[in-house]
Amino acid sequence: MREIVFDTETTGLNPLTGDRMVEIGCVELFNRVETGRTFHAYFNPQRSMPAGAEAVHGLSEAFLSDKPCFHELVDDLIDFLGDCPLVAHNASFDFGFLNHELSTCGRPLICMTRMVDTLVLARTRHPGAKHSLDALCTRYGVDRSLRIKHGALIDAQLLAQCYVELTGGRQIGLSLADTIIIEEKDSRPSEALVGERIVVQVRPPRPHAPTEEELAAHSAFLATISDPIWARLDGRG
């Protein structure tokens, strides 16, 4: 199954009061494994950058001044997102900004049924604990040493690793069965791997017949039992 883990950076907290998205980072997963495909872009918000927001992500008005506007890259973003589930931390925030930007340039909104919120997953799995991205990285041993400030792509990459752990860990596809599951490595795009990433090999049966020595030992042991219950049940006692 294909999924996209994504994160956004913005000028503030509310798109309805004029805040805009200034960065988006997306990471593709296929069967909970990163494929290496990403989408990353900065956007010119065409407005000033509040000092509080810049302190969080480090994106200044000057840095963003020569970046494309959202509508210039929207087709590439929509193509990358496709129609698969979209995973984000506190996802209603990111969905709110993403859909606001899509609406602004006259594109269809992303259905909220596609939303997977890792904050909700973390609260369910670890009630009473801290649920920030930093806290999840600490809990699951995810290296966040490169995360100096908030950045959409690096945060999406960290979240992807935490999401895998939140949903079962690296062994999510394993189960007790009579088969051996072998994952094939392939450098082709993930869409080309559907239906051929997994090879099932049937394990041949192993012989379990007792040896002559084991049969003789068993008979000798039975001979030591007086008045065995099986003799009475089959009418011989």
71 known member of a binding site = no
34 known member of a binding site = no
φ/ψ bin of 17: left (φ > 0), alpha (ψ from -120 to 50), beta (otherwise): alpha
Tell me what pLDDT residue 170 has.
Answer: 63
Task: Give per-residue pLDDT as tens, 28-48.
Answer: 999 999 999 999 999 999 999
Alpha-carbon separation of residue 121 from 116, 127, 166, 204 (angstroms): 9, 10, 7, 40
Note the pTM of the prediction, 2 decimals.
Answer: 0.71
Record: fold of 2-166? Nucleotidyltransferase; domain 5 (3.30.420)
Give the residues of the chain that fall short of pLDDT 70: 170-207, 233-237
Q: Which helix (H) or strand (E) holds 53?
A: helix 51-57
Give catalytic residues, as residue numbers.
150
Domain boundaries, the chain: 2-166
Backbone angles phi, psi at 10, to 5 degrees: -140, 175
9 known member of a binding site = yes
